[in-house]
Amino acid sequence: EKRVFQVKWEVDYLFTEFKGKPMCLVCLETLSAMKDFNLSCHYNTLHKVKYEKYTEAARTALIADLKSKVHKQQQFFTRATTTQEAALMPSIFDINDHVEGKMKEVMHNCKYFSLALDDSTDVMDVSQLLRTVDRSVEVHEELLKMVPTMPPRARIYSTQCNSVANAYGGLDKLSAVVTDGAPAMQGRRTGFAGLLQQSGVNCPIMHCIIHQEALCAKKLNFNHLTDLVTKVTHLIREGNRSLSHRRCGRRIWGFTNAHLVRWISRGKCLERFFALRSQIPVFLGDSVRGDMSANCRKLKDTAFLCDMAFLTDITAHLNDLNPKLQGRDQTVCDLCAHINAFQRKLDLFSHLPNLTYFPACEEMGKSVPECEGVLHKYKTDIEKLQEQFKHSFLDFHAMQPQIALFVDPLSAAVSEQPSELQLELCDLQSDPFFQARCNEKGITFWGLLPECRFPLLRDFALSMTSMFGSTYICESSFSTMK
């Protein structure tokens, strides 16, 4: 047969070819394979009793009638689809024109804007997000454009600038650019950042704070542990097909439906794995085919379990930080505050063997007394993480004086501020009206300042408010579109 539709099937089994597959003219069911056996089974099971009485000319007339009904149905849906598309097209263009018009209106009225550029959202595109702030301190965040990442990098730069220039009119009010750190974005000579500075645009160009935090976390080198945990997890979930997965769901995880198990992240996986550290070797020995003795010995090794306990605890703390850096409507100041708080926590963590903040390590110390003599070695790993955090985020640390002024202008040292802001800052700190509102912070406080009295301070606040600190919204917007 060679998987080609046979003309005789039309007469014998009442089938026709539709889009390269056999389709029954009676029930319109499409079969996956063009095989005589499949078609005959379908006809003999469902339609033979009713249609075997039609022979020769009567059968030919029946086939012609069935085919005409199918053709009319297909024409009806084709006409309906075409009509709907024709009716929708003007509406789509109207919506597009309205959105584009509103975007240009927002950008025309804004005082400052910043750009977030993410080169890792897709293999074909750079996601370009715009954040604007107007004179009334109202913030807007909009997806401006998706542009191709085709070489050379100068083309990326020109495309980005042209898209802003067409929508806004130039880069005069660009307050900051934040990128995902890709070479096409951060390169000092041929990257977007380098070409932007060479063109005379003097604004902060920052590496996304979430990407930097993820790079810091990679400083913890426990590959020997994560590799084994990943391997055993895959063995449980997939290695022995669905049987061991279902058994594991009932026996270990406590679920009757194994698909309910969610391995949300490495941290969650480690927490669950550590909690089941005594049951997993038993399960591997009883339910997984193959020699699991080496894996079981490793999972019972005291040093390995101590490593797992430490990594479980420190990853839980990093996982607690990461969601705080995500979300909309966060200023650069908010993000820096989260990073600074975590660095202070690392100072507390370094006081090992105090295990107050390491519950898994504390549990290991109680259940296996010899672990207490091992846990102090992880102080070195915490110090490495501290050092990595200290040497990362340099672009944000350079903005610390501006951040301090934006967060608490009433307590800022006047002498340490730029000379053009000092006189207005003296007036602000001496005004009883604003002193009475010292509980107001951030954007809320700066919105109280009248532009006629504090034009320079208000201009500074608008510039800070307009800055992105991460490319989170670029990535989340792309995920939503997918």
Please give the helix or strand (H or E) that residue 18 lies within, else none: strand 15-18
> Could you state, in order of their start, the residue ranges of all structural domains in the chain?
8-77, 223-394, 399-465
φ/ψ (deg, to 5) at 423: -65, -45
Q: Which value, in Å, is the radius of gyration of the alpha carbons in the chain?
A: 33
Contacts by 167-174, CB closer than 8 A, 24 or more apart: 167/103, 167/104, 167/107, 168/104, 168/107, 168/108, 168/113, 171/196, 171/201, 173/110, 173/111, 173/112, 173/113, 174/112, 174/113, 174/114, 174/115, 174/201, 174/203
Q: Which residue has the tokens 């003795």?
A: 293
Beta strand segments in 157-271, E = 174-179, 205-207
β-strand partners of 393: none
Residues 6+ apart with CB under 8 A from 355: 361, 362, 365, 375
Other Cβ atoms within 10 Å of 303 Cβ, number: 12
What's the rounded Cα separation, in Å, for the pair 182 and 394?
Answer: 17
Task: Tell which residue, 31, 38, 27, 26, has the closest CA to residue 62.
Answer: 26
Task: Tell which residue, 92, 81, 82, 178, has the closest CA to residue 129.
Answer: 178
Residues 6+ apart with CB under 8 A from 446: 137, 406, 409, 457, 458, 461, 462, 465
- Note the pLDDT of residue 431: 92
Please give the helix or strand (H or E) that residue 133 lies within, else none: strand 125-134
Using DSSP's 3-state secondary structure scheme, residue 117 falls into strand
Task: Tell which residue, 264, 273, 278, has the closest CA to residue 236.
Answer: 273
Question: Would you say 30 and 23 are in contact if contact means Cβ atoms under 8 Å apart?
Answer: yes
The DSSP secondary structure of 432-472, one letter per residue, reads HHHHTTTT--HHHHHTTS-TTT-HHHHHHHHHHHT----SH
Task: Tell which residue, 279, 309, 295, 304, has the closest CA to residue 239.
Answer: 295
What's the rounded Cα separation, in Å, for the pair 296 and 301?
Answer: 9
Task: Tell which residue, 360, 372, 375, has the closest CA to residue 270.
Answer: 360
Task: Tell which residue, 473, 421, 418, has the closest CA to residue 178.
Answer: 473
Question: Would you say 31 and 41 are in contact if contact means Cβ atoms under 8 Å apart?
Answer: no
How many residues are present in the chain? 482
φ/ψ (deg, to 5) at 383: -65, -35
- Note the pLDDT of residue 430: 93
Q: Is the dihedral of CA 429, 431, 432, 437 positive or negative?
A: negative
Identify the DSSP state of 265. Answer: S
In which residue ranges of the chain is pLDDT below 50? 1, 121, 123-124, 154, 240-243, 249-264
Question: Would you say 352 and 376 are in contact if contact means Cβ atoms under 8 Å apart?
Answer: yes
What's the rounded Cα separation, in Å, for the pair 217 and 221?
Answer: 9
- Token pair, residue 331, equals 């200023």
Question: Would you say 365 and 411 are in contact if contact means Cβ atoms under 8 Å apart?
Answer: no
- Note the pLDDT of residue 86: 62
Identify the DSSP state of 237. Answer: I
Other Cβ atoms within 10 Å of 16 Cβ, number: 16
Q: Based on the number of CB atoms within 10 Å of its own CB, is 143 exposed (0-12), middle (13-18) or buried (19 or more)? A: middle
